[in-house]
Amino acid sequence: MTPLLEQFLSEARDFLEGIGEKLMQLEDAPGDAELMTALFRMVHTLKGNSGLFDFPEMTRVLHAGEDLMDAVRHEQVEYSQDLADRLLDAMDFVGMLCDEVEAKGSIGAHHAADSARLAESLRRLIASVDAAAAVVAVVASALPNALTETGIVVAEADLPPLVDIPESIRMDAYRQACGGVDLHWLDYTPAADCFFQGDDPFFQARGTPGFLWGSITVRQPWPALAELDAYRCVLEFHLLTTAPREQLDEYYRYVPDQVRMIPVTPLFLALPQGNRNGGPVAYENFVDKALGLLGANQLEDLVLAASNLIELSSLELWLSSALRWLLLVMELEPENRNAFAKIIESLRRQSPPKWTELLPKVTGGNPPAKTELHLSQHSLTPEEAEVMTKMLDVQREILNLPIQENWQLGRIKAVAATLTGCLMASGDVAARAGLEAATAMALEEAASLPLLAWLDQFQQTRSTASVESLVNQADVGVPVPRNLSEIQSDLSADAVRVSDVDAEAKFGRRAEDAGIGPKSLKVDQQKIDRLMNLIGEMVVSKNALPYLAGRAEDVFGVRDLSREIKAQYTVINRIAEEMQDAIMQVRMMPVSFVFQRFPRLVRDTSRKLGKEVNLVLVGEDTEADKNVIEALGDPLVHIVRNSLDHGFEQPDERRAVGKPVAGTLTIRASQESDRVVIEIQDDGKGIDPDIVKRKAYQKGIIDEATLERISDQDAINLIFAAGLSTVDVISDLSGRGVGMDVVRTAVEKVNGAISLESEIGKGTRIRLSLPLSMAVTHVMLIESAGQTFGIPMDSVLETVRVPCASISSIKQSLVTVLRGNIVPLKSINALLAIAAPPQANSDHELAVLVVRCGNEAVGLLVDDFRETVDIILKPMTGVLADIPVYAGSALMGDGSVLMVLNIKELLP
């Protein structure tokens, strides 16, 4: 990617964000002229920028948006919610194009139709005072139109004037069509001001691929010469081409709104023309004779009779033209009896054959290429398997793209179609049911997670299968299932916004630069990560100084030098710690980064549901590490959707119970010691523990005994259990409650916790608590079998020394009793497959590190405890990345490497 394109994408995203924000603000203050001007300028600049590149699809939409905003700004068009909706849609589209440009470097030609439609819908708003009605009409008509144009149904009135084409060319086209090429009739109506945009319509039309014939007409009668404006294009071009649709789309991608393409059924070209008067008298007899021959299946005689009649007639007669067509059709489509009959009939009436009557219900210029792969039990070759792995990976990438409200469903459908194709190709029919279920779920939730989950599972089974069948195919890549945090860190490779509040003071900005733009700079995340790594190494190497001081004193006996080294060490230590802190600060982002999508989400969703909901955001400037903030996004969206869908009652229901008609959804962020706390609170109907209990019992999540004694709070927490739905009718928004266990998992992946309180009739409150930063990990050092390991402090509950005597065994498992609770004991050596037994100290006590595993406490038998330290945890890379029991490694002060254990994976 060139620097210019990078700059464009980065600036474009800023603008899109700004445009969305300004539009939302305008909803509250529609009369704000300043806001309007700012909005106009953003759209204008963005359009100008896009013009520098070859992105006609993007520029077209932005141009329409700019014109619309210009009209609004000059009060020619009134600002309305509909208008905002259209503009937001258009900006979402542009955002999607930006994503595509970033991913592929260009925009696919297939977006041209969407682009034209969006631009058209924006322009209608300008053109029509009765804006709302017009927009509805455009959208309503867009779909059927698209159908006709992509070419299936052709009504008689819509038929292009094919008869304008000379017969010889039509016959040639007919021959080619029977040979398998697609025929298209093309109406190209260049914009009146096209000359000013550097277009050359004549050149464009002449250069049309597969050009067979063309004509030029004028749209309206020519005005008097004095009034003629030679700089306005009033011409229309009509063409017949043999190029396939995709090629035409590509060729006309800059002006799809000016082009109408109609697929031509070859037979429609068989239109006799010429002088209808005169000709041999014999022709009336010929019709009866010909029908008779046709009925008797004497086709050769029919050809002979027709040829004879042609020789008797002069060439320019209508009659002889019809006979020529009859012969040609008989030659090229010898099976098509109906067609012969039609032509013969037309001879009698001397009117063109009515081909539309012949048309089957569904037909078209390009017969749909049916890819019927009935290859059941077809095993894939290694090459095919590799291609399929690649395809699956691409689908995964698509599913992992950031959610774009309006395009999400389309994406899911596209991915589902591709996956179905893969299954058909590999003959894996059994897996289709699962895929269909996952697709349905994904579509209902408008989220990629169900499909991703299916894909994970499918790839796992596939990779095991392929390993079994292709033992010797070492080069077949076995897809490694990626966990959520890896995906997130991939995603977070985007630029990180660095807040630079104190820049003025620190960097002594020159006066001339003051007041320009926002005082922040965008830095590539990789650069920050590098800084983090460097400071980590510095912290480590500075720790060598005390060691050096010790040696100076003990080995070389220079106490003064030792003291000086120690003094210097304190200075370096302080600076290093401050630096570390400063870099952490750079990685901090305000939660508003995630919050900003909620006004739109709540607005759109509640409208769709017919509910009224006010959104209150509190504490948007609370900061947390970028990774944490990013991990928050999807769970929050899920929770908010759930709340809108299931939490809030319909307005009349609310009125009936005496609540304000409009519900209130509060999202509150705050910092509590070293954690960020996000609360999502609604004043809806709350969760009924009895319903949850009953459902959980029906689904077999709890047994009868639990059903009897479970507390209300515990019952509500069952919401987080997998596969529980409390809603009988599954809505198309948040789905079936599967969401909540996905939310819990996602939150726990980043060491977060989630809790829920609910009161019937009053509302529900969900509380997420996440660590402020994931960059520094506080670990406790333990020793076992002569090695040192680190264990993250957030899973450590306590350290105790237990006398060997108070350890007993139940069913071959060691346990001890701590303050009246039975705690299972596991030897860390055994878990790590180290042969040595746990070492007791001189008092015959064993060191037990009590850790939290899920909701249970488990004691780890270790040899000894050591201090706790702050480390910068580096995840395992390369071949080591597949060993899940290690969370990562860290460099220690003495230069040694510390392995940090992952408790969740370690304990079975």
Q: Measured from the CB of residue 67, what is the shortest distance to another protein in angstroms? A: 11
The answer to whether the beta carbons of residues 115 and 256 sit under 8 Å apart is yes
Q: Measured from the CB of residue 47, what is the shortest distance to another protein in angstroms? A: 7
The stretch among 4-12, 292-300, 564-572, 785-793 that binds another protein (CB under 8 A) is: 4-12
Assess 76 for contact with another protein (CB under 8 A). Answer: no
Q: Measured from the CB of residue 466, what is the shortest distance to another protein in angstroms? A: 46
Q: Which residue has the tokens 């890379």?
A: 877
Measured from the CB atom, the residue of 430 and 511 that comes closer to another protein is: 511
- E strands in 633-746: 663-672, 675-682
Give the separation between CA 105 and CA 99, rounded to whole angstroms. Answer: 9
Contacting residue, 224, 230, 433, 516, with another protein by CB under 8 A: 516
State both tokens at 542. 């500075």
The stretch among 41-49, 296-304, 382-390, 673-681 that binds another protein (CB under 8 A) is: 41-49
Assess 7 for contact with another protein (CB under 8 A). Answer: yes
Assess 38 for contact with another protein (CB under 8 A). Answer: yes
Give the separation between CA 799 and CA 241, rounded to whole angstroms. Answer: 82
Q: Measured from the CB of residue 201, what is the shortest distance to another protein in angstroms? A: 17
Contacting residue, 51, 244, 274, 651, with another protein by CB under 8 A: 51
- E strands in 555-612: 588-590
Measured from the CB atom, the residue of 51 and 875 that comes closer to another protein is: 51
State both tokens at 143. 């779909």
Instruction: Please tell me what DSSP assigns to residue 474.
Output: T
Helix (H, G, I), strand (E, B) or coil at 820: coil
Q: Comparing C-alpha atoms, which of 255, 750, 228 is closest to residue 484? A: 750
Measured from the CB atom, the residue of 4 and 534 that comes closer to another protein is: 4
The answer to whether the beta carbons of residues 394 and 343 sit under 8 Å apart is no
Contacting residue, 44, 86, 117, 654, with another protein by CB under 8 A: 44
Contacting residue, 1, 29, 52, 373, with another protein by CB under 8 A: 52
CA 696 from chain centre, in angstroms, equals 33
The stretch among 250-258, 509-517, 637-645, 771-779 that binds another protein (CB under 8 A) is: 509-517
Q: Measured from the CB of residue 113, what is the shortest distance to another protein in angstroms? A: 24
Q: Measured from the CB of residue 522, what is the shortest distance to another protein in angstroms? A: 11
The stretch among 2-10, 354-362, 573-581, 674-682 that binds another protein (CB under 8 A) is: 2-10
Q: Comparing C-alpha atoms, which of 649, 740, 662 is closest to residue 695? A: 740
Contacting residue, 180, 508, 517, 878, with another protein by CB under 8 A: 517
Q: What is the x/- site pattern for another protein, positions 333-372, by CB under 8 A?
A: ----------------------------------------
- E strands in 175-334: 184-188, 211-218, 235-241, 259-263
Assess 1 for contact with another protein (CB under 8 A). Answer: no
Strands 763-771 and 675-682: antiparallel
Assess 60 for contact with another protein (CB under 8 A). Answer: no
Give the separation between CA 240 and CA 221, rounded to whole angstroms. Answer: 24
Assess 886 for contact with another protein (CB under 8 A). Answer: no
Assess 373 for contact with another protein (CB under 8 A). Answer: no
Q: Measured from the CB of residue 40, what is the shortest distance to another protein in angstroms? A: 8
Assess 229 for contact with another protein (CB under 8 A). Answer: no
Contacting residue, 13, 47, 60, 611, with another protein by CB under 8 A: 47
Assess 11 for contact with another protein (CB under 8 A). Answer: yes
Which residues are CB-neighbours of 287 under 8 A, at least 6 positions away? 344, 345, 347, 348
Contacting residue, 229, 335, 512, 867, with another protein by CB under 8 A: 512
Which residue type, as a one-letter code, is found at position 610?
G
Contacting residue, 29, 48, 153, 618, with another protein by CB under 8 A: 48
Distance between first and last Cα of the chain: 47
On the CB side of 5, how many CA atoms lie within 13 Å of its CA? 14
Q: Which residue has the tokens 């746990």?
A: 838
Contacting residue, 13, 26, 49, 251, with another protein by CB under 8 A: 49
The stretch among 8-16, 20-28, 118-126, 795-803 that binds another protein (CB under 8 A) is: 8-16
Q: Is the dihedral of CA 334, 336, 338, 342 positive or negative?
A: negative
State both tokens at 540. 């480590």
Q: Measured from the CB of residue 257, what is the shortest distance to another protein in angstroms? A: 19
Assess 45 for contact with another protein (CB under 8 A). Answer: yes
Q: Measured from the CB of residue 10, what is the shortest distance to another protein in angstroms? A: 8
Measured from the CB atom, the residue of 1 and 897 that comes closer to another protein is: 1
Measured from the CB atom, the residue of 8 and 93 that comes closer to another protein is: 8
- How many CB atoms neighbour CB 859 within 10 A? 26
Measured from the CB atom, the residue of 4 and 616 that comes closer to another protein is: 4
Contacting residue, 17, 24, 41, 152, with another protein by CB under 8 A: 41
The stretch among 49-57, 408-416, 586-594, 673-681 that binds another protein (CB under 8 A) is: 49-57
Query: How many residues would you count in the chain?
Result: 908
The answer to whether the beta carbons of residues 680 and 701 sit under 8 Å apart is no
Assess 4 for contact with another protein (CB under 8 A). Answer: yes
Measured from the CB atom, the residue of 5 and 857 that comes closer to another protein is: 5
Assess 3 for contact with another protein (CB under 8 A). Answer: yes
- Please work out the total of residues on this chain that contact another protein, with binding judged by CB under 8 A: 20
Q: Measured from the CB of residue 69, what is the shortest distance to another protein in angstroms? A: 12
Give the separation between CA 846 and CA 491, rounded to whole angstroms. Answer: 45
Give the separation between CA 772 and CA 747, rounded to whole angstroms. Answer: 13
Q: Measured from the CB of residue 254, what is the shortest distance to another protein in angstroms? A: 13
The stretch among 104-112, 282-290, 512-520, 799-807 that binds another protein (CB under 8 A) is: 512-520
Measured from the CB atom, the residue of 48 and 895 that comes closer to another protein is: 48
Measured from the CB atom, the residue of 106 and 197 that comes closer to another protein is: 197
Phi, psi angle pair for 614, to nearest 5°: -95, 135
Q: Measured from the CB of residue 43, what is the shortest distance to another protein in angstroms? A: 11
Give the separation between CA 25 and CA 27, rounded to whole angstroms. Answer: 5
Measured from the CB atom, the residue of 73 and 762 that comes closer to another protein is: 73
Which residues are CB-neighbours of 362 under 8 A, at least 6 positions away? 152, 153
Q: Measured from the CB of residue 52, what is the shortest distance to another protein in angstroms? A: 5
State both tokens at 418. 């591709």
The answer to whether the beta carbons of residues 382 and 473 sit under 8 Å apart is yes
Question: What is the crossing angle of helices 81-104 and 131-150, to 10°?
Answer: 40
Which residue type, as a one-letter code, is found at position 661?
V
Q: Which of residues 101-120 bind another protein (CB under 8 A)?
A: none
Q: What is the x/- site pattern for another protein, positions 186-205, by CB under 8 A?
A: ----------xx--------
Q: What is the x/- site pattern for another protein, positions 813-852, by CB under 8 A?
A: ----------------------------------------
CA 454 from chain centre, in angstroms, equals 17
Which residues are CB-neighbours of 421 under 8 A, at least 6 positions away? 371
Q: Measured from the CB of residue 224, what is the shortest distance to another protein in angstroms? A: 23
Distances (CA, A) of 436 to 419, 433, 454, 455, 727: 10, 5, 10, 12, 22
- How many CB atoms neighbour CB 295 within 10 A? 10
Distances (CA, A) of 465 to 419, 427, 476, 691: 18, 14, 12, 42
Which residue type, as a one-letter code, is found at position 483?
N
Residue ranges that bind another protein, judged by CB under 8 A: 3-4, 7-8, 11-12, 38, 41, 44-45, 47-49, 51-52, 196-197, 512, 516-517
